[in-house]
Amino acid sequence: MTDQTPKRPLAPTRRAVVEGCALAGAAAGMAGLGFRAVPAAAAPAAPAIPAAPGDPAPQTMPVRLTVNGAPRDLVLDTRTTLLDALREHLALTGTKKGCDHGQCGACTVLVEGRRINACLTLAAMHEGDAITTIEGLADGDALHPMQAAFIAHDGFQCGYCTPGQICSAVGMLGEAKAGWPSHVTEDVAAAPALSDDEIRERMSGNLCRCSAYPNIVAAIRDTAGSNL
Ligand code: FES
Ligand code: FES
């Protein structure tokens, strides 16, 4: 008897899709997995929400951000968060929206090198600031060491929290390098040593619903050891 089952095109594996998310910004990986960033001009416009009777007209203002090294000029409703500006206006969807309330860390990006929850800050407050998202960490096809470490240590499962974890970890290493203590630092006058307890405490603003924490800590410990 012959097999009559129709042949279906091979779907990407779960791991391939997740790695594509962790690597967002590395062009080759993204192209193969459908994660290529859409140019802002090609991004579909967000549907307009009809105003309720009596609603004041939205106030807009021009905002210039430097995103991943490139100047981006936007005209935004003054209430637009940095997260929505990145995702909805610049089509940089590597940065994730989890809670939209500053509680999960999925939206973490770097502003002038410091980590920040992009859902808790207005884009208009960052006129002229340099923003780095997960798409801007890799150097062309060369992964940022933190991205490579997350893959080497399998520091993710579904991958939704991963861009925020990676951006947060990069910012956190900068804070430790600058000598900032944390709540678990025993000697605040000494240079902080990044023990696992220190890493857990310093990354406590980034939640992972898949509980990939042990592997996330291992990835960060390795990257810290490489003297990034
Ligand atoms: S989406 Fe910003 S902290 Fe959760
Ligand atoms: S890998 Fe799934 S939420 Fe962190």
35 Cβ below 6 A of ligand 2? no
> How many domains does the chain contain in total?
1
- Give domain status of residue 3, yes or no: no
Evaluated on CA atoms 81, 84, 85, 87, the torsion sign reads positive
- Give domain status of residue 179, yes or no: yes
| Tokens at 120, concatenated | 């808790």
The dihedrals phi and psi of 206, each to the nearest 5 degrees, come to -115, 105
Host domain of residue 159: 14-37+60-225
- Give domain status of residue 166, yes or no: yes
- Give domain status of residue 4, yes or no: no
Give me the residues paired with residue 116 across strands: 109
SS3 124: helix
We report the CATH number of the domain holding residue 154 as: 1.10.150.120
| Mean pLDDT confidence for 103-132 | 98
- Give domain status of residue 49, yes or no: no
CA of 110 to the centre of ligand 1 (A): 14
Nearest ligand, CA 99? 1
- Give domain status of residue 161, yes or no: yes
pLDDT for position 123: 98
- Give domain status of residue 8, yes or no: no
CA of 119 to the centre of ligand 1 (A): 6
pLDDT for position 12: 54
Higher pLDDT, 44 or 154: 154
Nearest-angstrom CA–CA distance, 15 and 171: 26
Nearest-angstrom CA–CA distance, 213 and 162: 11
CA of 213 to the centre of ligand 2 (A): 9
* Model confidence pLDDT, tens digit, residues 187-201: 988 888 899 999 999
- Give domain status of residue 44, yes or no: no
E-strand stretches of 165-216: none
Nearest ligand, CA 116? 1
pLDDT at 146 over 80: yes
| Mean pLDDT confidence for 123-149 | 97
104 Cβ below 6 A of ligand 1? yes
